[in-house]
Structure 1
């Protein structure tokens, strides 16, 4: 009860806004599309995936015109609300990649590392002020079975040539101090911290400078073949295009075949007030690395440029019938649980206040990674299902969809990961029942020493899952 009272006190003044978007440097919106328009490439969706597709198209096909539409404002959804971990992994972690594509995992790891390096180079080249920090990542164990699992992961990564360091409790706490830590795994490479909204706004600005026409507050309602073109119908206009990229992520896709391929999941986050010098000294964190814990239901957390702690994850909330609504971004029970977990992790920060609390919808597939494909005789391509490690993977996906639209045979398009599709989620009411049962069983597994129930083992054998 004391923990709950302290958590409520810490949340009392938190603004129901996304920290990253609550920024006076946010750009003014571009005007909506009205009337008729034409372009070689039309991109539907102004999050990371769509912005990278537009920007990479400028780089790869400089003579082609690009037009991008977004139903709201670029970067306002998942791209502006996440924790800001840019990971080299294209497979939602090595374990998921090993379970699904073991024969090409080395290639996927190489392509992921190259993609992250290229992303950093693009950020530097376009002078995007997004607080890029090559910090690496610390994974912490707070239960004995998690410490054992980290030792196994360390052995696997070391055998694969990855430079990772296995830490005991004292060494882990020397990096970031929490009495809950039993062990840690630190990787100095493969993860960078970024400020999410500023990354999206920087990509948007680079697109505009390069000649991309952007229309915000322009929902795309439908698309259809029209001779050798595709027509995209919007609320107040129509666009004729040679090629179309769909980057709508959690929101309803324009192609019916994709409607069961992903589900929208709400992730919730808190941010503290800036730490004082005494509070910062109490937690250490000299390396500013991103941190996540090793449970099935995990937290992720990091420092901002002004030394706030952003703390999110754990609950992945699915609403019946794949409901998406701005009112769902605030979830009192989840925010309270996150605050309690924060104070349990950092009891030395008792009395700290949270300045922001927010939520956002992401798209997840049954395989936890993005998937790609084409439709309308190859004139439309999509990437969907980025789940929780999508910040950098969106750039890779942009190159995949451009490869597919232009019929290019590349290392990317030959990947089994790219050629395969995830199994769909079932329709309601089975979808909600299965997701909520899986969520409960994952929580029970964390409490029971990592032992996986019959239900979870069945999902493992079927190659299915649910995660954020």
Structure 2
């Protein structure tokens, strides 16, 4: 039991507090014939619907969702709307040419601004604040990676700059801070307000959303709903991210990997004077295990990270959202990073799965011959990327020959993940290696040898 002066701990996303996080729209009960059927009412599906209806208001667009709008990562994430992309510019350039690599990253930077533009135009109060992102280096090994990232960014024009210790501390007073990198192309958002506001905007434009509608199979111009109804459509878009692994024949397309998050109580102004983040910067650390944080509109700290295990057979279950050991590691890590946090209480702890393709390469595509399209595999950086996917899919469906449809991620096909148990062993070995590499660097103060082993295992 919590101490009398401590708030109780909620195991649902902070973002759902005070909002109607349940099914409020009726399920599909009969067969349908529409122009476009989109499976999944998260960012990808809803942005696709919004841009389709903007391009052609006469289209009949139906979005079907197994749970409720924003049930998955779109309503649970850490609230970063960033231009981060899991595939480096050099890798993209080797496969598609330098200009294509530059175009991909430029489109992502544009997408960060586009999310803010549409939110303003549609009156979506999602607490959008473009304060950039700060990634701190705590120790020589992290500083070496930070320097390398700045050099790579200078080559490709992605906007990451170096901050010395004093300049970095002005933004975030992290313990052991030696330097940091800063990139302006990131906004803090309230994820659930964005996804629910976007759903309402889709409906205002004439789109329809059916909740509680579980799809069993996706075929050529056809969606079979569990329990009977069939949707026939000229175009079918799969926007299911981590849940793609539950669809027949697609179990090995993405690996659902869990990311967990904790949140503090609202902190007083005196605490924020010591911590920083005055411009509402998002923040992270140059370590191997990914972490991410933000300062919310009501002055809480939200802090999340990887570290939860991958579950055998690409398993997804509500019980996997809650790992007491990972929650405690996150709380301890945040207190260690930001000692000014003191004994502030943590009020929320939650999680959910994200989708990772075998080569860490997000993709978007559409086959005119079958009418089927897809987008996903965002590796946890899907807020702005999903907006780019929605704009791209709208162009692909309507046949527009645009700069977006020529980006290198369009039509990309990742190889499939290995069958079990190799998948379970490999993914969890990678997670364990990342943790051990961070431990090695804390002890040796040098770049981890295990970091090279991690790269060799993941091929990334």
1:112-145 superposed Cα distances (whole Å, 9 cap, x missing partner)? 2222222222111111110010111111111211
Match of 2:257 among 250, 259, 265: 265
- How do 1:280-299 residues align onto structure 2 when only pairs under 5 Å count? 280-299=272-291
Q: Quick check: 426-435 or 140-149, which moved more?
A: 140-149
> Aligned partners of 1:230 and 1:314: how far apart in 2?
36
> Aligned partners of 2:74 and 2:21: how far apart in 1?
14
- Pair 1:315 & 2:310 matched: no
Match of 2:76 in 1: 81
- Pair 1:241 & 2:238 matched: no
Match of 1:359 among 351, 359, 381: 351
Deviation at 1:262, TM superposition (A): 0.5
1:24-46 superposed Cα distances (whole Å, 9 cap, x missing partner)? 35586111111122211111100
- Pair 1:127 & 2:126 matched: no
Q: Quick check: 57-66 or 230-239, which moved more?
A: 230-239
Deviation at 1:444, TM superposition (A): 2.6
**SS of structure 2 residue aligned to 1:35:** coil
Deviation at 1:288, TM superposition (A): 1.5
Residues 266, 10 of structure 1: alpha-carbon distance in 2 compared, 3 angstrom cutoff: farther
> Aligned partners of 2:420 and 2:32: how far apart in 1?
38
What TM-score do the two structures reach when normalised by structure 1?
0.89
> Aligned partners of 1:458 and 1:179: how far apart in 2?
31
**SS of structure 1 residue aligned to 2:16:** coil
1:262-289 superposed Cα distances (whole Å, 9 cap, x missing partner)? 0111110000000012211221221210
Match of 1:414 in 2: 406
**SS of structure 1 residue aligned to 2:167:** helix
**SS of structure 1 residue aligned to 2:351:** strand
Residues 45, 108 of structure 1: alpha-carbon distance in 2 compared, 3 angstrom cutoff: same
1:390-434 superposed Cα distances (whole Å, 9 cap, x missing partner)? 101001112333333344443333333223212221010000111
**SS of structure 2 residue aligned to 1:357:** strand
Residues 253, 153 of structure 1: alpha-carbon distance in 2 compared, 3 angstrom cutoff: closer
Match of 1:111 in 2: 107
Match of 2:271 in 1: 279
Match of 1:220 in 2: 215
Q: Quick check: 146-155 or 130-139, which moved more?
A: 146-155
> Aligned partners of 1:318 and 1:63: how far apart in 2?
43
Match of 1:68 in 2: 63
Match of 1:203 among 198, 203, 206: 198
Structure 2 stretches lacking a partner, 5+ long: none
**SS of structure 2 residue aligned to 1:419:** coil
Contact 1:10-1:354 at 8 Å conserved across structures: no
> Aligned partners of 1:433 and 1:299: how far apart in 2?
23
**Count of aligned pairs:** 452
- Pair 1:340 & 2:338 matched: no
**C-alpha RMSD of the superposition:** 2.6
What TM-score do the two structures reach when normalised by structure 2?
0.91
